[in-house]
């Protein structure tokens, strides 16, 4: 079984994935820069430029690009399964092997590079997704939407009721000890101390309580993406144009409004939850629809092709962003943790990303796959 070749790929999917990598890095750079897990973000930034950069990032970027990646992840799993079946191979076995290898990449990434790794969760939820891929495309979309909306709407109501009964419970607190420990560890020249803090932070993000929310935020997007692949939303995008236009208009509007709630109403845990858990994915769907429409414009795919090159090596770019980010900000590198202006950090992330886009374009002149993609696929498609 050979891996997918470039002529068999959907260019629009690679373009969207490549552009989403920029949004991902613009969010992740803040985690490299500051102890975001432990601080009240609305009170942390004391410089006007930093506050403005954070607010812009928070409204338009934060929480809106991981849903696109989750959607594309589910989409890709269906495409791989369909192709392996057409070649007479075991689609379940190949898919499971790919996910277990991705899990290995994620563990290495989380332990040795950056606590914010998403690969472990994607691999585990991908294994869960394998168990429901026999469903029709429409059912996957319907169940995905239901799994996303009902639990999150109910929890939003619960938080709102709790805040009315006890406003004190909705206050956003800074964990002073957590902030001090993070700054102390990540500015240390001791790799062991940084690793210890990294593992602690990883568990802080991936504790059992948070995993439940990932099950009703990330997993539904994977299901919807898988359903979209089965229903051929992208191959027949022009036939669905009016739906893509409606999705872009509705979800961009609703998403931005929800993302602005803490700034319009109150900066508390209730509106922060609604902003991130409901607003982020809705805005992400709006961006996805907008990008699909953009790729329909004549000659646009040719202009956007460099982003597709980045999308084709998304694993390599994602992990290399973490390597560069940790080197810039951690004590074993340039030691700029909590020291560089946030606005400068975000601009730096944008600059690094476009260097990666250029590097990807050059790489694919000679090679057919990204470096880590090559390792991943050779292991997954090994001879039986």
Phi, psi of 40 (to 5 degrees): -85, 105
The ranges assigned to domains in the chain are 6-380
Instruction: Identify the pLDDT of residue 69.
Output: 96
Instruction: Annotate 236-286 with DSSP letters as a single string.
Output: TGGGGHHHHHHHHHHHHHHHHHHHTHHHHS--SHHHHHIIIIIIHHHHHHH
Measure the CA dihedral 42/43/49/54, to 10°. Answer: -30
CA atoms within 13 A on the CB side of 227: 18
Helix (H) or strand (E) holding 104: helix 91-112
Instruction: Identify the pLDDT of residue 298.
Output: 83
Instruction: Identify the pLDDT of residue 380.
Output: 85
* Cα 344 → chain centroid: 22
Instruction: Identify the pLDDT of residue 89.
Output: 59
The SS3 assignment for 264 reads helix
Instruction: Identify the pLDDT of residue 384.
Output: 45
pLDDT along the chain (384 residues), means of 10: 52 95 97 95 80 93 96 95 71 90 98 97 97 96 98 96 89 93 96 97 93 94 98 92 96 98 93 96 97 92 93 97 97 95 95 98 95 92 60
Region of residue 335 (left: phi > 0; alpha: psi -120 to 50; beta: else): left
Instruction: Identify the pLDDT of residue 10.
Output: 86
CA distance 275 to 259: 4
Instruction: Identify the pLDDT of residue 3.
Output: 47
CA distance 107 to 100: 11
CA distance 321 to 315: 10
Name, in order, each residue with C-beta under 8 angstroms of 2's C-beta and a sequence gap of 6 or more: 381
């Amino acid at each position: 079984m050979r891996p997918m070749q470039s002529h068999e790929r959907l260019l629009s999917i690679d373009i969207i994935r490549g552009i989403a990598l920029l949004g991902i890095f613009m969010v992740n750079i803040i985690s490299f820069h500051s102890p975001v897990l432990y601080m009240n973000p609305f009170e942390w930034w004391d410089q006007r430029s930093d506050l403005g950069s954070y607010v812009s990032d928070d409204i338009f970027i934060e929480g809106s690009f991981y849903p696109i990646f989750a959607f594309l992840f589910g989409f890709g799993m269906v495409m791989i399964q369909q192709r392996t079946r057409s070649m007479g191979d075991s689609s379940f076995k190949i898919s499971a092997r790919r996910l277990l290898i991705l899990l290995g990449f994620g563990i290495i990434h989380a332990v040795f590079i950056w606590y914010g790794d998403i690969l472990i969760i994607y691999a585990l939820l991908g294994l869960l997704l394998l168990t429901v891929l026999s469903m029709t495309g429409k059912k996957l979309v319907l169940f995905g939407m239901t799994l996303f909306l009902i639990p999150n709407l109910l929890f939003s109501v619960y938080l709102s009721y709790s805040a009315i009964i006890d406003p004190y419970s909705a206050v956003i607190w800074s964990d002073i000890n957590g902030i001090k420990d993070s700054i102390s560890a990540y500015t240390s020249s001791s790799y062991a101390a940084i690793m210890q803090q990294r593992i602690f932070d990883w568990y802080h993000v991936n504790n059992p309580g948070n995993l439940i929310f990932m099950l009703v935020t990330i997993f539904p997007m994977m299901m919807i993406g898988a359903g979209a692949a089965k229903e051929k939303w992208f191959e027949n995008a022009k036939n669905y144009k009016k739906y893509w236009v409606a999705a872009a208009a509705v979800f961009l509007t609703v998403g931005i409004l929800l993302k602005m709630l803490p700034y319009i109403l109150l900066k508390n845990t209730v509106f922060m939850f609604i902003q991130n858990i409901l607003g982020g994915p809705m805005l992400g769907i709006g961006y996805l629809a907008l990008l699909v429409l953009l790729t329909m414009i004549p000659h646009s795919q040719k202009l956007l092709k460099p982003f597709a090159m980045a999308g084709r090596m998304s694993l390599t770019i994602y992990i290399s962003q973490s390597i560069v980010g940790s080197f810039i900000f951690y004590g074993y590198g340039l030691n700029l943790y909590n020291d560089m202006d946030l606005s400068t950090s975000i601009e730096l992330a944008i600059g690094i990303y476009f260097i990666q886009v250029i590097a990807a374009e050059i790489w694919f002149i000679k090679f057919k796959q990204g470096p880590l993609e090559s390792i991943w696929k050779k292991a997954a498609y090994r001879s039986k």
